[in-house]
């Protein structure tokens, strides 16, 4: 699976959009980009995923560059409850491939 690179930490003002970048320059054609978050010490929570098109759901938007080497997770109106560690990972499209690596993620702090 391709490796990802994320900034260690970011701050965002409450009510503003939080834009979290991720680099995955070695991604291959059959790998998806996934985002999870982990609030305090809870289990990670799925946010969104995409292959090559931009995606949106009730939690966030995912923008993937045309060359697929990087992506941005957008939380449109960040709240204090969005303070968490956000993980960007890539997962291969293979029903026997369980391996996916979680890096250290980005710690997002939403400030009042």
Partner 1 sequence: NAGVTQTPKFQVLKTGQSMTLQCAQDMNHNSMYWYRQDPGMGLRLIYYSASEGTTDKGEVPNGYNVSRLNKREFSLRLESAAPSQTSVYFCASSALAGAPYDQFFGPGTRLTVL
Q: Considering beta carbons, is residue 42 or 67 the nearer one to partner 1?
A: 42
| Under 8 Å between Cβ of 30 and 52 | no
Q: Considering beta carbons, is residue 8 or 112 the nearer one to partner 1?
A: 8
In the shown chain, the binding pattern of residues 75 to 104 toward partner 1, with x for contact by CB under 8 A and - for none, equals ------------x---xxxxxxxxxxxxxx
- Rounded distance between C-alpha atoms, residue 56 and residue 87, angstroms: 17
Q: What are phi and psi of 16, to 5 degrees?
A: -90, 165
Q: Is 74 in the site for partner 1 (CB under 8 A)?
A: no
Handedness of CA 10, 71, 24, 102 (dihedral sign): positive
Q: Is 69 in the site for partner 1 (CB under 8 A)?
A: no
Residues forming the site for partner 1 (CB under 8 A)? 31-32, 34, 36, 41-46, 49, 51, 87, 91-105
């Amino acid at each position: 699976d391709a490796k990802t690179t994320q900034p260690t930490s970011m701050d965002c003002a409450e009510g503003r959009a939080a834009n979290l970048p991720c680099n995955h320059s070695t991604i291959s054609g059959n790998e998806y980009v996934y985002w999870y978050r982990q609030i305090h010490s809870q289990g990670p929570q799925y946010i969104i995923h995409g292959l090559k098109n931009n995606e949106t759901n009730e939690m966030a938007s995912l923008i993937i560059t045309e060359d697929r080497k990087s992506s941005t997770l957008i939380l449109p109106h960040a709240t204090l409850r969005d303070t968490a560690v956000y993980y960007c990972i890539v997962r291969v499209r293979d029903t026997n491939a369980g391996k996916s690596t979680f890096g250290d993620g980005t710690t997002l702090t939403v400030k009042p």
